[in-house]
Amino acid sequence: MFLIDDIFLAPLKGVIWIGKKIYEVAEKEFSDEGLIKEKLMELQLNFELDQINEEEYNRQEKELLARLDAVRKAKEEEV
């Protein structure tokens, strides 16, 4: 009976595994301080090349700095 259960549950287990991997990648991307700094530099470059306006730059910069601050606070709490 366990073999039949494993066969029927295999697709569900695969979906769960994929969901966990996506969550891990998203969590890493959201909490990676280096990646956030890289995005800030890219944002600065886009602004300097007039690819985005000042209002959009300020909005995105505020969001990225808030994320960076949250990551740093979380790292301090871990210690």
Query: Hey, what are 22's tokens?
Result: 């996506």
Reported pTM:
0.65
Q: In terms of domains, do 20 and 43 share one?
A: no
Q: In terms of domains, do 36 and 4 share one?
A: no
Digit-by-digit pLDDT tens for the chain (79 residues) are 567 777 777 788 888 889 999 988 888 777 788 889 999 999 999 999 999 999 999 999 999 999 999 988 988 887 6
Q: In terms of domains, do 38 and 60 share one?
A: yes
How far is residue 45's CA from residue 65's CA, in Å, rounded to a whole number?
A: 16
Give yes or no for a contact between 43 and 64, defined as CB atoms under 8 angstroms apart: yes
How far is residue 60's CA from residue 1's CA, in Å, rounded to a whole number?
A: 55
Q: In terms of domains, do 25 and 36 share one?
A: no
Number of domains in the chain: 2
In one-letter notation, the amino acid at residue 17 is: W
Q: In terms of domains, do 19 and 37 share one?
A: no
3 lies in which domain range? 1-31
Q: In terms of domains, do 38 and 75 share one?
A: yes
DSSP annotation of 50 reads T
What is the pLDDT, as a whole number, of residue 32?
82
In one-letter notation, the amino acid at residue 47 is: F
